[in-house]
């Protein structure tokens, strides 16, 4: 399982309240919802797999250092 790291941001209070209510109704952890939403957005916007390509380029650049 990948390492978990702390992540801090500011969000619209109304949206967060709705998110919290949804997590209670579905008996799921709020963090699980955030991760699921991030994964959904990555899938939605990264149709060309640019993130994977960026990782490969970064790894190749680090090997040259």
Question: Which domain range does residue 45 map to?
Answer: 13-64
Tokens, residue 1: 């399982």
Assigned domain for 58 exists: yes
Assigned domain for 57 exists: yes
Average model confidence (pLDDT) across the chain: 88
Give residue-wise pLDDT tens across range 22-33: 999 999 999 998
Dihedral sign, Cα of residue 32, residue 35, residue 41, residue 43? negative
Assigned domain for 44 exists: yes
Number of folded domains that form the chain = 1
Assigned domain for 3 exists: no
| pTM exceeding the 0.85 threshold for the entire prediction | no
Assigned domain for 7 exists: no
Assigned domain for 8 exists: no
Q: What does the pLDDT read at residue 49?
A: 81
Assigned domain for 2 exists: no
Q: Cβ distance 33 to 22 under 8 Å?
A: yes
Assigned domain for 1 exists: no
């Amino acid at each position: 399982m990948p390492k978990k790291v702390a992540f801090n941001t500011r969000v619209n209070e109304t949206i967060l309240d709705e998110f919290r209510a949804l997590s209670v109704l579905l008996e799921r952890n709020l963090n699980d919802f955030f991760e699921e939403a991030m994964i959904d957005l990555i899938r939605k916007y990264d149709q060309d797999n640019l993130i994977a390509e960026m990782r490969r380029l970064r790894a190749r650049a680090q090997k040259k250092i």
